[in-house]
Amino acid sequence: MRTEKNIQISNDKMVISENVLKFIAQNAALEVDGVHSIAKCSGVKKIIGSKGCSSSVQVQNTEQELIIDIYLNLKSTAQIMKVVSDTQHNIKNAIQDMTGKSVTKVNIHVMDIIFEQNGKQ
C-alpha cells in the first residue's frame, strides 16, 4: 500500500501533495537548456547506495524550510555551473510561484553527462 505525503502550506486547510512538488521540480528542471533528463533512481542507487534514493526528486519539508534534491543528467555541451544555477533558480521560482511555499534550498546532483550519438542526443 502506497502512502502519500502531503505538505500543508499554512495554518489554513490548503494541502499540496509531495508528488505535486516533485512534478513541478521535474518540469522546471527539464525547461533549462543543458538538462538532458531526470536521472533514473536505479542509477542513483548504484552511486550513493540504496538507502539514499527513493526517488529522483526528493522533498524535505519542515516548518522552517523546504528543501528539494533532484538528480539530473546533463547534455555534453552544457556549462555545468551555469546549468546548475539556472536549474536551481527555475525550480525555486516554479514552486514558489505555483504554491506560495518558500523554498530554502534546491540541491542539484549531476549524475551523468550524455554525449551525442549520430548527431542526436
pLDDT digits (tens, 9 = 90+) for 81-121: 999 999 999 999 999 999 888 999 999 999 999 997 765 55
Q: Tell me which of 66 and 51 has the higher pLDDT.
A: 66
pLDDT band for position 1 (cuts 50, 70, 90): very low
Parallel, antiparallel or unpaired: strands 35-38 and 105-114: unpaired
The domains located in the chain, with CATH, are 16-114 (3.30.70.1350)
Cell numbers standing for residue 26: 521535474
More confident residue, 95 or 49: 95
User: Do 45 and 52 contact (CB within 8 A), yes or no?
Assistant: yes
CA distance 47 to 56: 13
* Cell numbers linked to 75: 547534455
The candidate with the shortest Cα–Cα distance to 39, out of 100, 113, 94, is 113
Q: What is the pLDDT of residue 100?
A: 87
C-alpha dist (Å) from residue 59 to 13, 21, 78, 114: 20, 8, 26, 26
pLDDT at 64: 77
Q: What is the pTM for the complete model shown?
A: 0.79
66-75 and 57-61 strand pairing: antiparallel
pLDDT band at 25 (very low <50, low <70, confident <90, very high): very high
